[in-house]
Copies of this chain bind each other. A is one copy, B any other.
Amino acid sequence: MIIAVDAMGGDNAPFQVVKGVYEAAQGLKDVEIALIGDENKINDCFNELEAVKPENVKIIHTEVYVTMEDDPMVVMKEKNNSSIAVGLKALKEGAVDAFVSAGSTGALHAASTLIVRKIKGVRRSAIASVLPFGNGLLMLDSGANPTVTADLLLQWAVIGSAYMKKVFGIENPRVGLLNNGTEEHKGTPLAQEAYALLKARTDINFIGNVESRELPNGPCDVLVTDGFTGNITIKLIEGMGKLVFSRLKKMFTVNLKTKLSYLFMKKELKKLKKDFDSSEYGGAVLLGLAKPVIKAHGSSKSKEIKNTIYQAVEYASSGIIEEVSKELLAEAK
């Protein structure tokens, strides 16, 4: 198995990406990792790490890369030899088995849809993020598609269930619909229509509407919503988390007694921070694509890059895409 990694994407590229790849390569002896980016810069990183490039890491050289300022469509136009484009083309052609990037979500999603294409029958791919609630709660879409249709939400429920089953090992994943009330008639016409479609399906474990207030209790394993609401949700969780920790930090520096308390509470605070950190669950998966593409957090350090590579291996060997393809083909007949 070969996992391609965008060496140039993310706030801490290329150093933290190369470091993460180096760490992953130690543990994944049977996996080959293709680092895509500027060969000189990548080698500089190995030098800085005082490490020799492992045998199962190879470099695919390109000097071009997409920046956060670039328009998402630039990958297809002016930068079609960028690290993202090169990686996705290799994936499309079967030269590699999965692609990981911490670069621009918009660019990665746009280019993936055009280069890698979607599973036959899937109308639109979604960004599936794991919220740090319960045992990890997969929310899709978290931002790629601001407007959706009810049958799209249904497709994502099916694909999300397959993912949580195969990658998270959850037997009968509970599917929830994010809504502004628990009753069946609640919400927008879209939500009402989606409720009816989801309820009618026997191959998913639909538990009904889920209110955002309940999310921290982990009420479901898969949460479907439009990309607008999903984006508001995921960013609010992030913002609230930041607020809490900046407030806690201040609280513990008020006087000598609170400073002493900090020492007593340090271990517990660390645990709390970890529980609020969705990067513990790896990156966001672009579900619905015909090949595995994973978006690592933009702020990823080596640990997250390493985790995301492990996640890519898991995903690529799970058979989810083949399974969903078959299901959708059977439905179409």
Are A213 and B188 within 8 A (Cβ)?
no
A151-205 residues at the B interface, CB under 8 angstroms:
178, 180-181, 187-189, 191
State whether the Cβ of A268 lies closer than 8 Å to any Cβ in chain B.
Answer: yes
> Chain A: interface secondary structure?
helix
Q: By the criterion CB–CB under 8 Å, are B239 and A268 in contact?
A: no
Q: Is A329 an interface residue (CB 8 A)?
A: no
Copies of this protein in the assembly total 2
> How distant is A271 from chain B, measured CB to nearest CB, in Å?
8
Contact of A254 with B by CB under 8 A: yes
Q: Give A270-290 as 1s and 0s: 1 = Cβ < 8 Å from B's Cβ atoms.
A: 011001000000000000000
User: CB-defined interface of A256-275 with B at 8 Å, one 1/0 digit per residue?
Assistant: 01101100110011011001
Using a CB–CB cutoff of 8 Å, the interface residues on chain A facing chain B are: 143, 146-147, 178, 180-181, 187-189, 191, 211-217, 227-229, 231-233, 235-244, 247-248, 251-252, 254, 257-258, 260-261, 264-265, 268-269, 271-272, 275
- Closest 10 A-B residue pairs measured CB to CB? A261-B261, A216-B243, A213-B235, A180-B231, A212-B236, A213-B239, A257-B264, A251-B268, A212-B235, A240-B240
